[in-house]
Amino acid sequence: MGLFMGSERSRHSSAGSRHDAAARSELGRLSWPISDHLLDWSRPEPSFWAATAPLERPGTRLTEEMVVDVAVIGGGYTGLSTALSLASDYRVQTAVIEAGDIGWGASGRNGGIVMLDATKLSYGEMFRKVGADETARYFRSQVEAVRLLRGVISAEAIECDAVNRPGITVATSEKRFEALRAEAALLRGTIGVDAEILTDGAVREQYIDSPAVFGGLRVAPGMALHPLKLAIGLARACERHGVQLYVRSPVVKWHREDDEHLLRTPSGLIRARWVVLATNAFTPDKLYAPFNGRVAPVISNIAVTRPLDEAERDACNLNDPAPMIDDRNLLRYFRMVEGGRLLLGMRSSDDGGAEGAIRSREEIQAAIAELLPPLSGIALDYFWRGPIATTMRRTPGIGRLETDPSVLYGFGYHGNGVNTAIWTGAVLAQLIAEGDATLESVPKLLRGLPPRFPLPSLRNRITGAAMKYYGFKDRMSK
């Protein structure tokens, strides 16, 4: 596949009404392995981010028939970054098609924590799979992804409350602190990442004063930011570079006609020579067969407290906006956000329904009490949730379909997509514009389509059981 430039072809018609009825019935044909509670595109998740981002959102509904070079399905970081790079670096005519508003998916509702590693593999597993050199190459790409993110924020003047701070992993027991020491040595040595061990006292003094913390690991680079402002800022940059943004326009049918892809929405149609699938944990089954069963969503839950007063902040020493996670398999993530509030997130084993939400909210309240006793029982002003994308091989999948090279994809960031998805978008744009040689630049751990989950219809039960197992392991390994 070689370079092509944006063509002038663009056809409009009043196809909308003609396709309406048929397309609506197609929407019901698609299926997602998560609860319907998380699939209401008509409203945003009630997050702290939605409450503090600009009200005006970019994009319009697709109401006509369009012809473009590249159609990107999904208006989160992967899709927006792909489109931005195609339009600004290569002048390729690109449209983004999003079922909700821009950033409706995980990109507008995540923790805004930028740290390294988008896999669920241990370092030992990585070494066994691809060797030490490839593991190091993968981590270099993660560092590069943070640099790229910073570069885009600065080049496009995106106001997203970004702060550059190394990421802190805190140890939840003395035994686990020893494991973190070993990790630090590996990261610094064989893998070549800037990593430093922090004593118990150093963590309490600089980041968080908690009886549940036994030391930490500081890894650079890292960041903390407002995720929805980042998504909206990327979308505005896309618009400035000529990308067509279609929102509230779910793709309900995707098929090929000769060398064109036809993407149908309830009120429009896009014809494109290339399609990029950028739907991550929201990838529906039965939209395009090669992607059926490739992603298993796991629910992540976030709460933001009422503003802490000065005495509470001092009691917990929460005076640094650094992004923090703990060392559990079912990790908890936390940071201070605008207005002196604490954000804390954690995963759960349910499918995203109402009962799981009640339980998860209680679990977050209990986690805050354990981590920071002075904040026990504090009011949670915001609570929301969303799916993160896991894959069978426990690493992201980036590439083009072997059976149809005009279809590209990037997904499966295992809850670490802020930097990884932005980087993936730039790689996908380069793959389209510069050809297959680019694939070589994708570390082997991330390259190509991950295998399907066996028994895809039982995926959420399997991931639910896996989450329970990890929770059990966490309790046993203290």
Ligand X SMILES: Cc1cc2nc3c(=O)[nH]c(=O)nc-3n(C[C@H](O)[C@H](O)[C@H](O)COP(=O)(O)OP(=O)(O)OC[C@H]3O[C@@H](n4cnc5c(N)ncnc54)[C@H](O)[C@@H]3O)c2cc1C
- Give the distance from CA 454 to its chain's centroid: 24
- Smallest separation (angstroms) from ligand X to the CB of 476: 26
Q: Return the number of the residue (221 or 387) whose C-beta is nearest ligand X.
A: 387
Report whether the peptide linkage leading into residue 387 is cis, meaning its omega lies within 30 degrees of zero: no
CA distance 478 to 34: 32
Q: Return the number of the residue (123 or 411) whose C-beta is nearest ligand X.
A: 411
Scanning 187-276, the segments in alpha helix (DSSP H) are 200-206, 227-240
Ranked by CB distance to ligand X, the top (closest) residue is 417
Q: Return the number of the residue (105 or 450) whose C-beta is nearest ligand X.
A: 105
Residue type, 455: L
- Smallest separation (angstroms) from ligand X to the CB of 347: 9
- Smallest separation (angstroms) from ligand X to the CB of 77: 4
- Smallest separation (angstroms) from ligand X to the CB of 400: 16
Q: Which helix (H) or strand (E) holds 69?
A: strand 65-73
CA distance 392 to 402: 19
Q: Return the number of the residue (176 or 264) whose C-beta is nearest ligand X.
A: 264
- Smallest separation (angstroms) from ligand X to the CB of 26: 10
- Smallest separation (angstroms) from ligand X to the CB of 199: 26
Summarize as ranges the residues that interact with ligand X (CB under 6 A).
73-79, 97-100, 104-107, 109-114, 250-251, 278-282, 284, 287, 300, 302, 333, 345, 385-388, 411, 413, 415-418, 421
- Smallest separation (angstroms) from ligand X to the CB of 302: 5
Q: Which helix (H) or strand (E) holds 273?
A: strand 268-277
Residues 6+ apart with CB under 8 A from 234: 77, 80, 81, 84, 152, 156, 158
CA distance 162 to 103: 17
- Smallest separation (angstroms) from ligand X to the CB of 15: 17
Residues 6+ apart with CB under 8 A from 56: none
Q: Return the number of the residue (204 or 283) whose C-beta is nearest ligand X.
A: 283
> Could you identify the residue written with the tokens 């050809």?
435
Q: Return the number of the residue (253 or 273) whose C-beta is nearest ligand X.
A: 253
Sign of CA dihedral 185, 183, 125, 107: negative
- Smallest separation (angstroms) from ligand X to the CB of 272: 13
DSSP assignment of 142-201, as one string?
HHHHHHHHHHHHHHTT--S--EE--EEEE-SSHHHHHHHHHHHHHIIIII--EEEEE-HH
The helices-and-strands tally (H runs, E runs) of the chain is: 11, 19
Q: Return the number of the residue (203 or 302) whose C-beta is nearest ligand X.
A: 302
What's the N-to-C CA distance of the chain in angstroms?
52
Does residue 283 contact residue 295 with C-beta atoms inside 8 Å? yes
CA distance 44 to 397: 27
- Smallest separation (angstroms) from ligand X to the CB of 152: 14
CA distance 135 to 145: 15
Does residue 417 contact residue 106 with C-beta atoms inside 8 Å? yes
Q: Return the number of the residue (312 or 417) whose C-beta is nearest ligand X.
A: 417
Q: Return the number of the residue (99 or 126) whose C-beta is nearest ligand X.
A: 99
Q: Return the number of the residue (32 or 90) whose C-beta is nearest ligand X.
A: 32
